[in-house]
A and B are shown apart, each in its own frame.
Chain A
Amino acid sequence: MINSIFRFGLIFILLILLQVLLFNNIQFSGYVNPYVYIMFILLLPIEIPSWLLLLLAFGTGLIMDFFSGSPGMHTSATVLAGFVRPNVLRIVSPKDGYESGSDPSMFIYGFRWFFLYTLLMVLIHHTALFYLEVFRFADFFRTMLRVILSTIFTVTFILLIEFYRRGK
């Protein structure tokens, strides 16, 4: 228990630092903004109680909002991601279900499963985030383009990080 708190604490700090120090500074052409910190919500244990998941999502979003100076947007999108996570896990669930007490990781459930899971979660999070940021439907398709491009980049980076974790 203590061990896993320590482990997730470390993952959390590393992901936030990575986001703030590296990915927030990328700003490719105004269309691509990878938000890799969402990986923290992805990696939490499968059987985590939903209230804890939601509170952790809230905290993560709040900290991201602090760093990007945008009150509420990251919080709202991340809480949404935390809320839909159990349903997404059910949708992508492998044939023989999940092992009890396991983490949603690539080397237990395979690349295909992890990719699909990440893609769905990131897509939901980014859709909420970018539409909240624009706060109007006037530029609907342009925002959609931003969502899609950023999702591609975020998913790629998350897969790379997961590969690296596996290598460790």
Chain B
Amino acid sequence: MRNLLNFLARYNSLIIFLFLEGIAFYLISTRNNYQNSRLVNSVRGVTSGIEKKINNTKSYLSLRKVNETLAEENVALKNRIAKFTKTESSLFFSVNDSIYKQQYFHTSAEVIKNSVNKQRNFFTINKGESQGIKVDMAVISSNSVAGVIVGCSKNFSVAMSLLNPDFKLSARIKSNGYFGSLSWDGKDYRYAILSEIPQHVIVTVGDTIETTGYSAIFPEGEIIGTVSDYEIYGGDFYKIKILLATDLKKLHFVDVVGNMKKTEETELEKLYK
């Protein structure tokens, strides 16, 4: 007994150290995407007040840039409306059933916390369940991919950024339609990697890469970026480096996109698995 007490007294700092490190490693090892984002979510309830303040200052400083982007987007949208009204009038279509044609709906939101310098990046937006945001909705920023919602609280949602190695996306080369899998390699926040493109496909630097819509999360044809470099990887595939169209470091206003027919599609697909 005495020996034991002596031992404890001598190595007390080592024992406390090992005990505390044990707790820390337990926390690290239980992190897995989903739980992690859950934890992040509950904690962010505490810290989001402060983050909101930081963000208010930031958004004031970037008003000019934001205005420009909005103006550009407005012009693009107006052009699209003009196109639609023209075609609509020439059709014999008296019932205006918006649900029939509409598959995706958009909600705009503001990013209040963002990071690009970690290995697993998440960002927080200022809308949550009360505003109709649900898990697995897509987040896009002025027509290019930014992330996907992984957790919602009442008024906030956490999205997994494109800059997260766990984020996998089906993407294709616009010019020839060959598709592969897109993910981030953890190196530079401006580039992502498109893999699984077979070598007989002709790839040119500058080709546009867009989403396929196979995942039922992202709408088809959202721009991801352009080819900046490619190399032969493994036996038959290319490893293509993509320059991302969104500067995720500047992410500020985003659109959250929900797929109204998602349940229908996934239910059907489940039958044939």
CA distance A65 to B186 in the complex (A): 20
B25, A133: Cβ atoms closer than 8 Å: no
Q: Within the complex, what minimum Cβ distance (angstroms) separates A61 from chain B?
A: 7
A20: CB under 8 A from chain B? yes
- Residues from chain A with a CB closer than 8 A to the CB of B36 are 71
Interface residues of B in 59-84 (CB under 8 A from A): none
Q: Within the complex, what minimum Cβ distance (angstroms) separates A81 from chain B?
A: 11
CA distance A68 to B189 in the complex (A): 18
Interface residues on B, range: 35 or more
Mostly, the A contact residues are helix
Interface residues of B in 1-58 (CB under 8 A from A): 12-13, 16-17, 20-21, 23-31, 36, 39-40, 43-44, 46-47, 50, 54, 58
CA distance A144 to B45 in the complex (A): 34
A33: CB under 8 A from chain B? yes
B24, A69: Cβ atoms closer than 8 Å: no
A30, B116: Cβ atoms closer than 8 Å: yes
Show the binding face of B for A, using Cβ within 8 Å.
Answer: 12-13, 16-17, 20-21, 23-31, 36, 39-40, 43-44, 46-47, 50, 54, 58, 115-119, 122, 186-189, 249
Show the binding face of A for B, using Cβ within 8 Å.
Answer: 20-21, 25, 27-28, 30-33, 50-51, 54-55, 57-58, 61, 65-73, 75-76, 79-80, 82-83, 86, 132-135, 139, 142
CB-defined A-B contacts under 8 Å, sample of 5: A25-B58, A69-B40, A69-B43, A71-B36, A86-B13
